[in-house]
Amino acid sequence: MTKQLKILLVLAAVIFLSGIIGTIFVLMPSESGMVEIVQDGKVLYSFDLTATKDQKIVITSSEGKTNTVEIKDGKIFIVHAECPDQTCVKTGVLYSESLPIVCLPNKLIIRFR
């Protein structure tokens, strides 16, 4: 094996391991229980998930479309959205500070604070 090939293999291994470590840090669950629901840059609601009772919240956008947010068992997620792609519903439960739940058509963001 040539010296250049060894260097390339070591470099590839370092890049691969860096990617795995970076992914682990991004997907780590948040230690904070504080969550904000933001629409059009304005904070509509702020919750401490550890102290909030189970509830459903219907949020209406400026265009009249709605998102239904559910808080259940200390977790928050979108159960219904009036948008074409349903990405926010498919996102599921909010776990990580790095990956908020976003509904772009309705300008809604659910994130840890």
DSSP 15-44: HHHHHHHHHHHHTSPPS--EEEEEETTEEE
What does the pLDDT read at residue 83? Answer: 87
What does the pLDDT read at residue 96? Answer: 76
Measuring CA to CA, how many Å separate 42 from each of 4, 30, 56, 61, 107? Answer: 54, 22, 20, 12, 10
- Please list the ranges in the chain whose pLDDT falls under 70: 26-32
Q: What pTM value is reported for the model?
A: 0.71
The tokens for 13 are 């291994």
Report pLDDT digits (tens) over 17-41: 998 888 777 666 666 678 999 998 8
Residue written as token pair 């977790």:
75
Q: Quick one: DSSP state of residue 2?
A: -
